Amino acid sequence: MIKISEKKIERIINYRRVLLRLDKQMRKTHIFSHQLASNSGASPAQVRRDLMEIGYTGSPAHGYEIKGLLKSIGDFIDPDAKEELALIGLGNLGRAIIDYFNGQSSKLEIVTVFDNNPDKVNRVVAGCRSYHVKDLKEIIRNNNINTAVITVPSSEAQQIADTLVDAGVKGILNYAPIILSVPEGIYVENRDMITTLEKVSYFAKNNNNK
* Position 68 in a domain: yes
* Same domain? 62 vs 95: no
Helix axes 6-26, 33-40, angle to 10 degrees: 100
Per-residue burial over 22-51, b if 16 or more Cβ lie within 10 Å, else e, is: bbeeeeeebbbbebbbebbebeeebbbebb
Tell me if 22 is assigned to some domain. Answer: yes
CATH number, position 123: 3.40.50.720
Q: Strand 128-132 vs strand 124-125: parallel, antiparallel, or unpaired?
A: antiparallel
| Total domain count, the chain | 2
Question: Can you tell me the distance from the alpha carbon of 95 to that of 87, in angstroms, rounded to the nearest whole number?
Answer: 9
Asked, for residue 132, whether it belongs to a domain, the answer is yes
Whether the predicted pLDDT of 26 surpasses 80: no
Whether 118 and 163 map to the same domain: the answer is yes
**Residue where a domain terminates, one of 53, 75, 97:** 75
Express each pLDDT in 104-124 by its tens digit. 777 888 999 999 999 999 998
Tell me whether residue 28 is in a domain: yes
Whether 17 is in a domain gets the answer yes
C-alpha distances out from residue 79 to 2, 39, 47, 145, 198, Å: 15, 26, 23, 13, 35
pLDDT tens, position by position, 82-93: 789 999 999 999
Residue 209 lies in a domain: no
Are residue 54 and residue 12 in the same domain, yes or no?
A: yes
Last residue of a domain, one of 43, 75, 107: 75
The predicted pLDDT at position 168 comes to 95
pTM, whole model, 2 decimals?
A: 0.81
Is the domain of 50 the same as that of 11?
yes
Q: Is the pLDDT of residue 14 over 80?
A: yes
Domain carrying residue 144: 83-195
| Phi, psi torsion values for 8, nearest 5 degrees | -65, -40
The pLDDT of residue 12 is above 70: yes
Taking a C-beta distance cutoff of 8 angstroms, is the pair 87, 94 a contact? Answer: yes
Do 55 and 87 belong together in one domain? no
Share of the chain above pLDDT 70, in %: 96
CATH number at residue 69: 1.10.10.10
Note the pLDDT tens digit of each residue in 142-185: 999 999 999 999 999 999 999 999 999 999 999 998 999 999 99
Q: Is residue 203 part of a domain?
A: no
